[in-house]
């Protein structure tokens, strides 16, 4: 089942309401002694239902989780959907400028502090979660993919794994590289990242940036799954098809 409710993030958008979502496995109601790992996700409106999604197509994760009987909770929050591109600011860890979109203050740390200190705390208090780092993951696409990489590095004491689909590596790549180089990743940290073969020319240095992030993570002994998706593009329909790959990368059994 998927439950919805309304939250505010005063540090970002004041009293403006936005939707929060939580997916609970079918076993949640009858297996009352069971506690579950949690995957936190960005762009919550795009995760479960087509009728909530920005472009009318979601990741379809409720159907995937039910069909595979994956025993994990998914908690997600809608982004800032204001017409002034607030999403680009709250989903960027770094200040950046873009010829098309202009200049933005990166408020990613504010966003992640809220996710960790308030949203995760709420989820852990109200649902049967395993709150430990080893059972806590984060995922997103595009700017949400960039935020997932940022989160697993800057908040590595909270998240043991991240899935970054089509991450916006073009946003201040040197600062991202520096963050990865300076992070002391805990043993067993795992990262999934991918790009679609049809989107790799969106930015001139995308392939180099993708390869560089992969290399840096490997040098830090992170367990990396790095893919170019044949025929993949920058869309929810494409990201929906990657669920088996990033779920396996995040949930694989150690030893």
pLDDT tops 90 at residue 101: no
Distances in Å between the Cα of 179 and the Cα atoms of 98, 130, 161, 172, 183 are: 21, 28, 16, 11, 6
Predicted confidence (pLDDT) at residue 255 exceeds the cutoff of 60: no
| Tens digit of each residue's pLDDT (9 = 90 or more) over 7-62 | 999 999 999 999 999 999 999 999 999 999 999 999 999 999 999 998 899 999 99
- Report the first-to-last Cα separation within the chain, whole angstroms: 32
Interatomic CA distance for residues 204 and 206, integer angstroms: 6
Give the pLDDT confidence score for residue 248 in this predicted structure. 96
pLDDT band (50, 70, 90) for residue 104: confident
| pLDDT grade for 122, boundaries at 50, 70 and 90 | very high
pLDDT-based confidence at residue 254 (cuts at 50, 70, 90): very low
Q: Once rounded to an integer, what is the mean pLDDT over residues 149-159? A: 98
- Reported pTM: 0.95
pLDDT of residue 65: 97
Q: 3-state class of 3 per DSSP?
A: strand
Instruction: Specify the pLDDT at position 204.
Output: 73
User: Is the pLDDT score of 253 beyond 90?
Assistant: no
Supply the pLDDT for residue 181.
98
């Amino acid at each position: 089942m998927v439950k919805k409710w309304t939250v505010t993030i005063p540090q970002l958008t004041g009293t403006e309401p936005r939707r929060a979502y939580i997916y609970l496995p079918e076993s949640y109601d009858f297996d009352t002694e069971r506690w579950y790992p949690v995957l936190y996700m960005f762009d919550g409106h795009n995760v479960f239902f087509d009728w909530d999604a920005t472009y009318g197509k979601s990741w379809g994760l409720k159907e995937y989780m039910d069909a595979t009987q994956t025993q994990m909770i998914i908690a997600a929050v809608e982004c800032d959907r204001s017409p002034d591109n607030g999403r680009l600011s709250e989903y960027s860890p770094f200040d950046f400028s873009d010829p098309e979109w202009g200049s933005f203050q990166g408020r990613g740390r504010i966003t992640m502090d809220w996710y960790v200190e308030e949203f995760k705390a709420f989820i852990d208090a109200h649902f049967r979660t395993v709150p430990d780092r080893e059972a806590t993951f984060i995922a997103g696409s595009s700017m949400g993919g960039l935020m997932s990489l940022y989160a697993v590095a800057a908040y590595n004491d909270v998240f043991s794994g991240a899935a970054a689909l089509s991450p916006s590596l073009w946003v201040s790549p040197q600062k991202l590289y520096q963050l990865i180089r300076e992070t002391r990743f805990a043993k067993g940290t795992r990262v999934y990242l991918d790009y679609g073969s049809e989107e790799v020319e969106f930015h001139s240095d995308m392939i180099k940036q993708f390869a560089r992030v992969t290399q840096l993570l490997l040098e830090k002994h992170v367990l990396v799954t790095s893919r170019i998706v044949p025929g993949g593009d920058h869309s929810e329909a494409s990201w929906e098809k990657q669920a088996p790959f990033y779920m396996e990368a995040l949930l694989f059994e150690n030893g």
